[in-house]
Structure 1
């Protein structure tokens, strides 16, 4: 089944229902399907068949139209992050070799197209007529749907620890994901959806597609602003919000939340701290609160109902249909409450990394996906994050996961935000170091922080050095950019 087929049904059964709204203009299901078919016809007339179509754009209606039109035509859309440098954008274009690129005018200048066969269409500013608009006007909504391509799109990881990799998702994997989330998140209805993160990332992109798949209205905001998001939720009751933990922190600090009528707040894209969860329960009252753990490659793995669970430091229990196995370095399952690497198996997993056969082979073993996350599971089936394998430090011959240390440090009121990393050390190999952004004027000494950590961690895991930072670097999806922070620290410490 093609993922956009339900839109054809809604265009007939509820033609005047708003599918997309950005606050200034909107698309009904009837109008959206018409645009989708027009774009598909344009692609097919240009001889595109199962070819790759790149999109570089901020959050706007045209992004969604092109994404859907490409899928309808049987092509493969590739969203490119507008926050990437020109070098990064062109490296991905060179790798993927799209036959056509749709670009917002402001980002078209990043493109250096050596292949003259690549066609470029630009989105204009709202008040102007651009190539995209004039191209659309020449087309009729008469294209036939192409159901022969199992590949849905190619996305790119956010690059928190290095170079982004292209991950391939199929129609079936997302259809199964829709089913799993519907079962897990017990929502009264899905009529209004908002995901204020960049469309180029899987959390927001998934939210758009699930919204349209269920016949709801998706509300588009160009950039995340806590005050504006909460004002929108106040105007439109029963909103379902897909956010990352950094967005939640910003919303908690606003004075508006108590007046909103949000139906559900669903968090992913980073560890949501226990302290923040408790504050969120106080501020948002009876709003349904969920956290889910997953990845672009695995899709949904586990989820936690914040109100129902008393294990707020966990990442919940597996979604229906997700098998998990926690294994040691010899690929043997470890006992309950023992840390090992998480393997998962489900019908929601990705197909592989685009043109990276070796990397794809390395993350699969006998049908299981190796997540790269070290976890443990308790006797009640709740999963707990220990850390990621590529973040692990070795100090004095002992393994330390920065995430484990960070979860302890985040409980200290004086610390607003923290990142732990290993700094090269002649004696220890790596010295456990904490980068700290303080909540206020009061700052703790290294010894005070060590004393606190010793109550919760083995002594070798306690930070040996504290470095104050004014600001952290984030990826465009709102995650802490660990590699960028490490590189920044190296330059400072040289």
Structure 2
């Protein structure tokens, strides 16, 4: 594992230092190393874990990968049928839940696996409605951790908070950064959504958080309800979606002395670019991260002529590929270069500007959503003619809007529709806005005209009837 040897070092040198804190519960580095070495781990190479409690998660993840196994991190937010389809495709040797945590008869020695060993299986959105499974090698993360810890200034004893589920790779990586660098990682208790702004405000103030990491929507919700400022907050790191000027303004008002960083990356690539946000405008996503080179389109050497094209990345931190679910619309290799099909351009100063995510993917509060997945769920809910759009939203960055084609005299129970969609989709993929129309506009090719529909939604011109 990329941080096991480092964790053991901190357990020897600073055994009483808090490693993970959740509310009034804490586990020190010495306790984390001891519990992980004593945890009973099933035999096999691929061990899936579905554990919501951050303390138990840290112990289990450390125990699994510290024994040289690959930990597949399942998300409890998945609907039951999605979880079943993932397990069928993954075929792990065992699945560990909170009810399965048992002490082994004899402690085991923990250690980092070789650099080419697989240690982590994560999941990212797929067009079929079932997430794609990717795997990480020890080397891909150990190289990334060494660079990001230095770049963002994580130092031993720093109090860090990442207010999101550890099933999300952004938050899991933040945990790994902490255990690698000897920081204290703060998280929310199970069942406490990030959206509980007052709770997050309490954590930030009572625990005197110095380093905050999250997607823009989580950062905004954590900070906007704070009364007064946060003098202890020294660094804010944003990833997963674009940081707006309004988001930056909230951060600067609540933490006037904090350094603000924004980075662009992907689960498949790790960090690609990063920049220091100084409060002045900035519509780029930064320059290449250490160890990374970027070009636009496969045949371009630099892409610095302002031409928009597909972003290609040369890095030693990318995944090898997908275990399953590869739909050909995301990660690809072109020789030594890789891409997730995102679009952008490079300015004369070498900074990258994003113009669109790959395909028609929509980024909602840092989560990737394919319209086809939501449209499929709408069809299963009785709305076969529906189009899903991404609409600019001040809080989430982007909100999902569904436009349903139905005869004018058809009665649609919007509440019942949303309830049904919640059974079929994670909550972050359920449209916030639902409209109806007697006829969907079509392009010359006979496909739904998404551009025209988006214009109608934004204009509120009466062409669409809002249901919810």
TM class by smaller structure: 0.7 to 0.9
Counterpart residue number, 1:434:
454
Note the alpha carbon deviations across 1:122-153, whole angstroms, 9 max, x for none.
1xxxxxxxx52xx21x4332435473561121
Note the alpha carbon deviations across 1:390-439, whole angstroms, 9 max, x for none.
1189xxxxxxxx9xxx999669x9x99656899963345524133899xx
Distance 1:230 1:161, change over 3 A: farther
Q: Is contact 1:377–1:384 with CA below 8 Å preserved after alignment?
A: yes
Shift of 1:243: 1.0
1:256 to 223, 227, 230: 227
SS at 2:454 equivalent: strand
Counterpart residue number, 2:430:
none
SS at 2:211 equivalent: strand
Note the alpha carbon deviations across 1:440-482, whole angstroms, 9 max, x for none.
xxx96549xxxxxxxxxxxxxxxxx777685xxxxxxxxxxxx
Which deviates further from its counterpart, 340-349 or 274-283? 274-283
SS at 2:19 equivalent: strand
Counterpart residue number, 1:70:
64
Shift of 1:273: 1.8
Distance 1:368 1:63, change over 3 A: same
Counterpart residue number, 1:363:
332
Q: Distance in 2 between matches of 1:38 and 1:436?
A: 60
Counterpart residue number, 1:233:
204
Shift of 1:196: 1.0
Q: 1:294-443, aligned counterparts within 5 Å?
A: 294-307=265-278, 310-327=280-297, 334-355=303-324, 359=328, 363-391=332-360, 418=399, 425-428=441-444, 429=447, 430-432=449-451, 433-434=453-454
Structure 1: where are the runs of 5+ without partners?
A: 105-121, 123-130, 394-401, 438-442, 448-464, 471-494
Note the alpha carbon deviations across 1:220-252, whole angstroms, 9 max, x for none.
213322222222221233521111111123234
Distance 1:17 1:146, change over 3 A: closer
Q: 1:14-413, aligned counterparts within 5 Å?
A: 14-39=14-39, 42-43=40-41, 48-49=43-44, 51-104=45-98, 122=99, 131-132=100-101, 135-136=102-103, 138-143=104-109, 145=111, 147-148=113-114, 150-159=117-126, 162-186=129-153, 191-222=158-189, 223=192, 224=194, 225-256=196-227, 258-307=229-278, 310-327=280-297, 334-355=303-324, 359=328, 363-391=332-360
- RMSD of equivalent CA atoms: 3.5
Q: Distance in 1 between matches of 2:460 and 2:113?
A: 62
TM-score by length of 1: 0.72
Q: Is contact 1:3–1:175 with CA below 8 Å preserved after alignment?
A: yes
Q: Distance in 2 between matches of 1:305 and 1:469?
A: 42
Q: Distance in 2 between matches of 1:338 and 1:160?
A: 28
Shift of 1:164: 0.9
| Count of residues paired in the alignment | 399
Q: Is contact 1:374–1:388 with CA below 8 Å preserved after alignment?
A: yes
TM-score by length of 2: 0.76
Shift of 1:180: 2.0
Q: Is contact 1:227–1:251 with CA below 8 Å preserved after alignment?
A: yes
Shift of 1:298: 0.5
Q: Is contact 2:269–2:319 with CA below 8 Å preserved after alignment?
A: yes
Structure 2: where are the runs of 5+ without partners?
A: 363-370, 372-388, 405-439
Q: Is contact 1:435–1:466 with CA below 8 Å preserved after alignment?
A: no
